[in-house]
Amino acid sequence: MVHCGRVLFRKYGNFIDNVRLFIKGGSGGMGYPRLGGEGGKGGDVWIVAHKKMTLKQLKDKYPQKRFVAEGGANSRISALKGSKGKDYEIPVPVGISITDENGKIIGELNKEGDRILVAEGGLGGKLLTNFLPLKGQRRIIHLDLKLIADVGLVGFPNAGKSSLLSRVSHAKPAIADYAFTTLKPELGKIMYDDFKQISVADLPGLIEGAHMNKGMGHKFLKHIERTRQLLFVVDIGGFQLSSQTKYRTAFETIILLTKELELYKEELQTKPALLAVNKMDLPDAQDKFHELVNQLQNPKDFLHLFDKNMIPERTMEFQHIIPISALTGEGIEELKNYIRRSLDEHANQENEAYHKKQLLNLRISNIASYSEPLSKQTIASSRMDII
Ligand SMILES: Nc1nc2c(ncn2[C@@H]2O[C@H](COP(=O)(O)OP(=O)(O)OP(=O)(O)O)[C@@H](O)[C@H]2O)c(=O)[nH]1
Ligand SMILES: [Mg+2]
């Protein structure tokens, strides 16, 4: 059974691009009426951007998704001015926009270390408040990873990513017979007959060592992170950067790309992915394609041929492998259909999960209205647990 679960999980991926949080500033401390002492202010809640963080990690680490900062200290004889409660810092990835419950934008975090105050602690009790403390600000916020596109093209240089984009959209990216033609992400839109549109980001090529900033490195991996799904594009003829570097077969390029994603952020490997095997118009392409499919189906039989540090912990699970030629147009319609189907499937799954949650909410509020002994407080907190 565990095995089944794992297969499902792998098939659909578990990439998370949004999350809802309950946050609350700490309450203020009590004042000291007799001596005019002032309670400490409650701690504030901040959202802070960290390069290595992902929304999945945030959700796994804090499944309840409740963040409450520390209360301020009460005023005492030994410390008439109560000390401030500790702030709470919620770590999130870079490239996040934060909105409140009504969809109003609170702010954006675009680079490492950016921080935004999202809930203020309550003031401590003092003369003005009759020495009674104030509660901290409480609210629900949404974090959204700012996606640049539905689909991101991932591949070695020269695989034909830009050629593919120009085939499926009106975009006119630069195409040339040398590595690193594309220097920054280029967006295109696939238009379907029923007016559905899917955005595709053509990304610069990746090479071995990208995670250590070889080639153009991190900059590109960061863009891959901000797409909903991945479309690997490989040249059936393989890749060689220069006469000084090793020739890599199509299978090797897939393994190396997987390893680079894994070394950058393991979560990238869990995104739904398709594989387009390009340049099928080249001589011997059919034979090489069959060999590639065999290698992908039985990766263990071939992985021992790699250096140990190049073998990924787990191989990519492609939902489909589609042979294409960006030059002749072969396989392009099929590819467009698979892209659409894959995105639709994923959206359905998210909807299903959303409806399940709504149903659960409904059940809980029904229980709440029929059972008197439950205090409002209990209901409120149990509802919070399932946001
Ligand atoms: N024979 C053949 N050549 C192709 C095909 N697709 C692309 N090419 C050629 O491969 C070369 C590289 O194509 P690009 O589209 O620039 O490749 P890229 O993956 O965007 O490369 P970078 O931007 O450097 O990462 C060009 O000379 C294309 O004409 C194909 O299906 N068949
Ligand atoms: Mg290109």
Q: 93 lies in a domain?
A: yes
Q: What is the pLDDT of residue 221?
A: 81
Residue in 301, 189, 195, 196 with CA at minimum distance from that of residue 251? 301
Rounded to an integer, the average pLDDT of 65-81 is 95
Q: Phi/psi of residue 98, each to 5°?
A: -115, 130
Identify which of 153, 165, 172, 175 to mutate to test ligand 1's pocket (most ligand atoms within 8 A of the CB): 175
Q: What band does 118 get if pLDDT is binned at 50, 70 and 90?
A: very high
Q: What is the pLDDT of residue 225?
A: 83
Residues 252 and 316 in one domain: yes
Residues 116 and 185 in one domain: no
| 99 three-state secondary structure | strand
Residues 202 and 286 in one domain: yes
- Which of 145, 161, 192 is the C-terminal boundary of a domain? 145
pLDDT-wise least confident of 184-198, 203-217, 326-340: 203-217
Task: For residue 189, give the CATH number of its domain.
Answer: 3.40.50.300
Q: 263 lies in a domain?
A: yes
- Which residues form the domain of 131? 18-145
Separation of alpha carbons 265 and 268, rounded Å? 6
Residues 205 and 296 in one domain: yes
pLDDT, tens digit, 9 for 90 and up, residues 282-329: 999 999 999 999 999 998 889 888 888 889 988 888 999 999 999 999
Instruction: Give the position, in ligand 1's atom list, of the atom nearest the Cα of 180.
Output: 24
Q: What band does 139 get if pLDDT is binned at 50, 70 and 90?
A: very high
Residue 268 host element (H or E): none
Rounded to an integer, the average pLDDT of 94-109 is 92
Q: 110 lies in a domain?
A: yes
Task: For residue 84, give the CATH number of its domain.
Answer: 2.70.210.12
Has residue 277 got a pLDDT over 80? yes
Q: 67 lies in a domain?
A: yes
| 220 three-state secondary structure | helix
Which stretches does DSSP call E strand in 148-205?
Answer: 149-154, 186-191, 197-202
Please list, in sequence order, all residues whose beta carbon lies within 8 angstroms of the beta carbon of residue 347, skipping any fewer than 6 positions away: none
Separation of alpha carbons 165 and 337, rounded Å? 15
CB of 193 shorter than 6 A to ligand 1: no
203 alpha carbon – ligand 2 mean position (Å): 7
97 alpha carbon – ligand 1 mean position (Å): 35
**What percentage of the chain's residues is helix, strand, coil (to nearest 5)?**
35, 25, 45
pLDDT-wise least confident of 26-35, 317-326, 327-336, 378-387: 378-387
Residues 139 and 177 in one domain: no
Residues 61 and 177 in one domain: no
Q: What is the pLDDT of residue 204?
A: 84
Q: What is the pLDDT of residue 208?
A: 81
pLDDT, tens digit, 9 for 90 and up, residues 200-241: 999 888 888 777 777 766 677 878 888 999 999 999 999 998
CB count within 10 Å of CB 225 equals 23
- Which of 111, 145, 179 is the C-terminal boundary of a domain? 145
Residue of minimum CA distance from atom 12 in ligand 1: 158
Rounded to an integer, the average pLDDT of 256-284 is 92
Q: 386 lies in a domain?
A: no
* Total domain count, the chain: 2
Q: Please give the mean pLDDT across all residues of the chain.
A: 86
Q: What is the pLDDT of residue 166?
A: 95
CB count within 10 Å of CB 238 equals 17
Instruction: Give the position, in ligand 1's atom list, of the atom nearest the Cα of 177.
Output: 27
Has residue 147 got a pLDDT over 50? yes
**What is the reported pTM?**
0.74
Residue with tokens 């020269």: 158
CB count within 10 Å of CB 203 equals 29
CB of 332 shorter than 6 A to ligand 1: no
Residues 109 and 169 in one domain: no
Q: 385 lies in a domain?
A: no
Q: What is the pLDDT of residue 329?
A: 97
Residue of minimum CA distance from atom 16 in ligand 1: 175
Residues 116 and 155 in one domain: no
Residues 228 and 341 in one domain: yes
What Rg, from alpha-carbon coordinates, does the chain have? 26
